[in-house]
Chains A and B, each alone.
Chain A
């Protein structure tokens, strides 16, 4: 069967495929959906959609299936290292082709994983129907997995940015381009982790609050609520008061009986007090939302570094950034190289038209990039 025929088959049977995708039981199927293309699988007496089809549909729809697992792709990285070793032994160019294909596949998988993580985080945060304990457990599990992926990403990036270099010029160029894109995806993961952490904190707060509400509710039920009564009557000026219930006792010394009609009361109240017209002004905080300008990366003033780069046009962008005052402040904590690399990637990615990649590598095994 050709691809176009597959699309036609999917379209022809769209109703039944959609029913199965939405979770309905399917007991009978046209033969071509089981024999010609394996879109369905027989499970017990019913037919279910093939996992590969569900995964494909979810990816295209930017959703996530319940049993999707976020891979760390360690196996692909190990294979890349093995292929590199083979290439170093026999200089077989086929190894380079295989590595190129594998790096591209790896990037595609990481990009799909990024979509899936984003979908999963949104699904958890927007789920208002499930029980709090269930959602909290799921959020904690996903946060833990993202934590592991963040660590794995660091190791994988080191392989792609450093260990696979200097084998082949074209492969190096591919690695540079892919590393920049992977860096953006790994920054996304930090963002997802942060959103999830905030959600977990808020949900845990709600859980603690529910316990407190239940506790006070039970005290009221058992009439063991003297503390609540004392709190309310000790500070009447702090708590909500119902004027309506006490209107007579409150106003009888101010207004006569015929004036206790509500309209009269308001008009009398207004006439008693000198009310000056209100000056209207827009609420100060009611400003349109504006996105923060790029320029800060975890305490680094990238804008300042970029200004210096534009002014001084360094021959080796990475070395220039590494020695910049904004980065040197991380030297004590031995984070200067990593911060310099992140800054280098950010600036290189933002300014592709202003850089020229040389064939040479600097002492840090990073290609010399000249600013023009």
Chain B
């Protein structure tokens, strides 16, 4: 039951990226126009809209959000955009399909922090952080959470250092583009 399988994954509250290895089964289904339309008509009947653009797929709610949904929805977006802002400050070449290294991120963070203490504020402001005194732990949490929301993925399950930036990155960039005007 392919539609049920894809719905099960999307209902976990994440974005499916076409360039994610773990999502290859789902994105191969969603890229098929007939499947996409069929799936969209299924979720439409239960109040959702299936959106597919720029290599990523997600479910959006058609009606108003409840207070609980509203709060978690806003917090998730703020955290993710702030985390992306943190990473682009460390790596100006970051874009979807880039490879980022956990070890290099820590090293670059330490160098930048020596001259610009405000970079740490970006980490401590994230709601994901428990231990706000341990920089390494905070960066580890940042990677874990970005992986959870589908923005990055380990390039290999045995390699905990290198991550690929997924197509879902473009979803957050589209929000940035909508809000921020160019100089």
Contacts and interface: CB of A to CB of B under 8 A. Distances in A.
B180 A245 contact: no
A240 B52 CA distance: 11
A239 interface: yes
Interface string B55-81: 000111111111011101110111001
Contacts of B73: 232-233, 236, 239, 241-242, 245
B46 A269 contact: yes
Given A221-B82, A228-B77, A232-B77, A240 B58 contact: yes
Given A128-B93, A236-B61, A238-B60, A213 B88 contact: yes
Nearest to A211: B183
Interface string B147-183: 0000000000000000000000001010111111011
B145 to A, nearest CB: 13
B68 A249 contact: yes
A267 B3 CA distance: 11
Interface string B76-96: 111001101110110011010
A113 B94 CA distance: 32
B176 A212 contact: yes
| Residue of A232, A238, A240, A273 with most partner-chain B CB within 10 A | A240
B174 to A, nearest CB: 10
A231 B178 contact: yes
Please report whether the interface of chain B is mostly helix, strand, loop or mixed according to DSSP: helix
Interface stretch (A60-68, A84-92, A275-283, A332-340): A275-283
B81 A244 contact: no
A246 B66 contact: yes
A212 B31 contact: no
A213 B176 contact: yes
B83 to A, nearest CB: 9
Contacts of A270: 1, 3-4
A269 B7 contact: yes
Contact of A216 (B3, B10, B85): B85
A214 B63 CA distance: 32
Interface in A104-139: 128-133, 135
Contact residues on A (Cβ < 8 Å of other chain), bracket = 35 or more
Contacts of A275: 1, 3, 38, 42
Given A231-B179, A278-B2, A213 B60 contact: no
Contacts of A233: 65, 70, 73-74
A38 interface: no
A209 to B, nearest CB: 7
A250 B64 CA distance: 12
Q: Which of B47, B49, B61 has the most CB of A within 10 A?
A: B61
Q: Determine the interface band of chain B, counting residues with CB < 8 A from chain A.
A: 35 or more
A275 B38 CA distance: 8
A266 B11 CA distance: 10
A246 B68 contact: yes
B4 A269 contact: yes
A298 interface: no
Interface in B93-143: 93, 95, 98-99, 121-122, 125
Nearest to A282: B32
A225 interface: yes
Contact of B60 (A214, A237, A245, A266): A237
A240 B171 contact: yes
A263 to B, nearest CB: 9
Q: Which of B12, B78, B175 has the most CB of A within 10 A?
A: B78
B31 A206 contact: no
Contacts of A229: 74
A21 to B, nearest CB: 26
B182 A208 contact: yes
A220 B78 contact: yes
Those 7 A-B pairs whose CB atoms lie nearest each other, nearest first:
A217-B85, A242-B13, A212-B180, A132-B92, A244-B13, A243-B11, A246-B69
Interface of B: 1-4, 7-8, 10-15, 31-35, 38, 42, 45-49, 51, 58-66, 68-70, 72-74, 76-78, 81-82, 84-86, 88-89, 92-93, 95, 98-99, 121-122, 125, 171, 173, 175-180, 182-183
29 contacts: A128-B99, A132-B93, A209-B177, A212-B180, A213-B81, A214-B88, A214-B89, A215-B180, A216-B176, A216-B179, A220-B82, A225-B78, A228-B78, A232-B77, A236-B60, A236-B63, A238-B51, A238-B60, A239-B175, A240-B15, A241-B60, A242-B69, A244-B11, A246-B69, A266-B7, A267-B4, A269-B4, A275-B3, A283-B33
Given A240-B59, A243-B59, A246-B66, 9 more contacts: A128-B99, A130-B93, A211-B183, A213-B81, A216-B85, A236-B60, A237-B61, A245-B13, A249-B68
